[in-house]
Structure 1
Amino acid sequence: MALAPRTRRKYGAASEEFSDFRRLRHLEQLWPAPVEHIQQFVVELHWRGLTPGTIKGKLAALSFYAKANGIRDFSGDFRIRKMLEGWSRERGLRQDDRTPISPALLGQLCNLWGLLCRDRFEEVLIRAAALLAFFGAMRISELVASGKRDISKKALQMDDVIAEEGQVRIRLRRSKTDQHGQGRMIILGQCSIMKICPVKALREFINFRGSDSGYFFQHDNGTPLTKYQFWKITDMALERTGFRNMRFGTHSFRIGAASTAAALGYEADGIKRLGRWSSKCYKTYIRQLPNA
């Protein structure tokens, strides 16, 4: 069964994400994948804020893997279809209600990553990625690899980061609103609260990482930090802050950046520049910050 290169990469990343999910949940890597495993995976994706359409795309990857290997496919099970149908109807009745991450909440997360990460390298890696996501108002796809085998180089590369005295310059190669790849430059200055200062965090990570080419955010073995890995450890930290009943997702950093700017009195043009918005859609990102 032939697939376009882009589709093959997406399917590969989704299959790896399912494998990582089962490993972290201590589920056996059984094939055919039991319906119960797929149900748990789908619920996890839903709580991370993924749309039913995005979840269906990941299920299509599992279906393709099963069929390509002559294995029975349970991804289209009646129970899973009904879950997705229900979420689709629910989504049509409500607006995006993901909770923004605030500077105060960022400070709490910075205190917790050291307790959750396996070593100092991982702690510095996750902290730098999170602070850049917030202060750069970045989409997660612009920041980290979609999966372990992602070779598209769409996410941040080492060559895109220039650390200077008192600031860090980030070259954004391509984004959702820049499909032609003209690129944008993001300049981050120092924060007065050193615990959440992005310049300090990024310079510290570079000292750990070294200057080898490749994805900027990578583990000490050279493999890229993936979207799933980044959010899994962040979600674990959020649970410990007492905010687990709120709906956080990877986009909560970008939402938090816009909401914080509005709370600080930024004018519309300033908020639009921050998030690289060209229309009034920036208003949908401005929400009440959680009390942390």
Structure 2
Amino acid sequence: MALAPRTRKKYIAAGTEFLEFRKIMQLDHAWPAPVEHLLQFSVALHNKGLAPSTIQGKLAAVGFYAKANGFRDFSGDFRIRKMLEGWAREKGKVRDDRTPISPVILERLGELWGVVCGDGYEKVLFQAAALVAFFGAMRISELVALGKGDVSRNALQFDDVMVQGEQVVVRIRSSKADQTGRGCHLRMGRCSRESICPVKAVKEFISFRGTGQGYFFQHADKSPLTKYQFWRLTDMALERLGVKHMRFGTHSFRIGAASTAAALGYSVEQIKQIGRWSSKCYHKYVRQIPNAQVGADFVLQVDGGKKSGGTS
């Protein structure tokens, strides 16, 4: 019953929360945990405003603990399921309204890195990170360190990025959808617009960074570029663009890649390849982008510059 490190951490936190709840409510520390205890725990979480899916995740953690220790798991009890379903109906579907980063916004960000960044090194660092995030349809955890103390090496390392002529080949070590850590490779070709070409940006950044082990996206002092730092300066640049009212987030680059591919007429299979989606969930990432935000001359070049997807 192996768990991915991130899932294990969440399960431990949820299990501890359940034990603390029983202590506060003066409930017996009985195992297997009675359905009544789980129902009370669920109601308490619901009253805190937690989503049904979040509550279900915490119950799954308690259920995992029970099964791992040879006890019966009551977290899937009929009464619990019906209660969660009822809350879900009340809440309704939450619309994901995050705004995609479009090619035009990418160009405008490129003009502002020199304004919000401290020096020339930081400017080419953020330009390369933003373009790899977009053209690779990257999740933030695949791109940069989650914090200064992140030693997981899950994000891009220097050895994961290879420049091969007019292509950049990136190895994704692991991701949310790849809990076994098999990894995959994706290719980015030259862009029809030089100002936002990922190949050019990566080459320029390497000339500043130099070789050496460690996170690929790192500062001049060799400390890793973190999720907070990347988004903090991106947010500052977006604010200068006057689009602060739109709902951007770190996933906006990934959403932007899928939405741009759809606007360019890519097929469903090609879009799924670009984002490494194996199911219909790619639908959630496709937004309507005005033609002016893409541009008639823009070509999303991936996998050797062909209109044929982006991973291998």
TM-score, structure 2 length as denominator? 0.65
Counterpart amino acid of residue 173 in structure 1: R
Q: What is the 5 A alignment of 1:1-292?
A: 94-289=94-289
The one of the two structures with greater contact order (alpha-carbon pairs below 8 A, sep at least 6) is 1
CA–CA separation in structure 1 for the residues paired with 2:92 and 2:264: 32
What secondary structure, in the 3-state scheme, does the structure 2 residue paired with 1:163 have?
strand
CA–CA separation in structure 2 for the residues paired with 1:289 and 1:142: 25
**Deviation by residue 1:90-143 (Cα, 9 ceiling, x = unmatched):** 985531100000001100000011111000000100110000000000000000
CA–CA separation in structure 2 for the residues paired with 1:113 and 1:197: 15
CA–CA separation in structure 2 for the residues paired with 1:161 and 1:264: 27
What secondary structure, in the 3-state scheme, does the structure 2 residue paired with 1:133 have?
helix
Percent identity reads: 63
What secondary structure, in the 3-state scheme, does the structure 1 residue paired with 2:169 have?
strand
Counterpart amino acid of residue 273 in structure 1: Q
CA–CA separation in structure 1 for the residues paired with 2:92 and 2:99: 19
Counterpart amino acid of residue 101 in structure 2: I
Aligned-pair CA distance for 1:284: 1.0
Residue number in structure 1 paired with 2:304: none
Counterpart amino acid of residue 194 in structure 1: E
**Deviation by residue 1:57-96 (Cα, 9 ceiling, x = unmatched):** xxxxxxxxxxxxxxxxxxxxxxxxxxxxxxx999855311
Contact 1:113 1:237 in 2 (8 A): yes
CA–CA separation in structure 2 for the residues paired with 1:118 and 1:94: 38
CA–CA separation in structure 2 for the residues paired with 1:187 and 1:119: 29
Residue number in structure 2 paired with 1:64: none
CA-based RMSD: 2.6
Aligned pairs, number:
215
**Deviation by residue 1:133-168 (Cα, 9 ceiling, x = unmatched):** 000000000000000010010100001011121111
Aligned-pair CA distance for 1:183: 1.1
Contact 1:101 1:289 in 2 (8 A): no
Contact 1:174 1:180 in 2 (8 A): yes
CA–CA separation in structure 2 for the residues paired with 1:221 and 1:92: 48
What secondary structure, in the 3-state scheme, does the structure 2 residue paired with 1:217 have?
coil
Q: Tell me which structure has the larger Cα radius of gyration.
A: 2
Distance 1:171 1:93, change over 3 A: closer
CA–CA separation in structure 2 for the residues paired with 1:138 and 1:276: 9
Counterpart amino acid of residue 181 in structure 1: G
CA–CA separation in structure 1 for the residues paired with 2:91 and 2:150: 30
CA–CA separation in structure 2 for the residues paired with 1:91 and 1:110: 40
Aligned-pair CA distance for 1:177: 1.1
What secondary structure, in the 3-state scheme, does the structure 1 residue paired with 2:260 have?
helix
Gaps in structure 1 of 5+ consecutive residues: 11-50, 55-87
**Deviation by residue 1:32-74 (Cα, 9 ceiling, x = unmatched):** xxxxxxxxxxxxxxxxxxx9x99xxxxxxxxxxxxxxxxxxxx
Counterpart amino acid of residue 234 in structure 1: T
